[in-house]
Chains A and B, each alone.
Chain A
Amino acid sequence: MAVPLISTAVIGHKFGPYEVTIPVERANAYAKAVGGDESPDYGDSLAPIMLVAAVLTELIEDLGLFSGGLQTIHAGQEASWARPVKIGEKIDANGRLASNSVRRDNHFATVSVSYIDSTGSEIGTSSTTIIVSGEKS
Chain B
Amino acid sequence: MTTNNSQRNTGDILTGFERQITQDRVDAYAEASGDHNPIHLNEKYAATTQFGTRIAHGMLSLALVTEMLAAEFPNTWHDGGKLKVRFSAPVFPGEIVRTYGEITALNEKDGELIAICTIGCKTADGRDAVVGRATVRLE
Contacts and interface: CB of A to CB of B under 8 A. Distances in A.
Same complex for A and B? Answer yes
Interface of A: 26-27, 29-30, 32-36, 38-40, 42, 45, 47-50, 52-54, 56-58, 60, 66, 71, 73-84
B80 A49 contact: no
Nearest to A52: B59
Interface residues of B, number: 40
B108 to A, nearest CB: 19
Interface in B48-97: 49-50, 57-60, 62-64, 66-68, 70-71, 74, 78-87
Interface of B: 15, 17, 19, 24-26, 28-29, 31-35, 37, 39, 49-50, 57-60, 62-64, 66-68, 70-71, 74, 78-87
Given A38-B17, A76-B86, A80-B82, A32 B63 contact: no
B114 to A, nearest CB: 13
Contact of B28 (A29, A74, A81): A29
A63 B2 CA distance: 41
23 contacts: A26-B31, A26-B34, A29-B32, A30-B28, A34-B60, A34-B64, A34-B67, A38-B68, A39-B71, A47-B66, A47-B78, A49-B63, A53-B57, A53-B59, A57-B35, A71-B39, A73-B87, A76-B85, A78-B85, A81-B79, A81-B81, A83-B79, A84-B79
A67 to B, nearest CB: 12
A35 B22 CA distance: 12
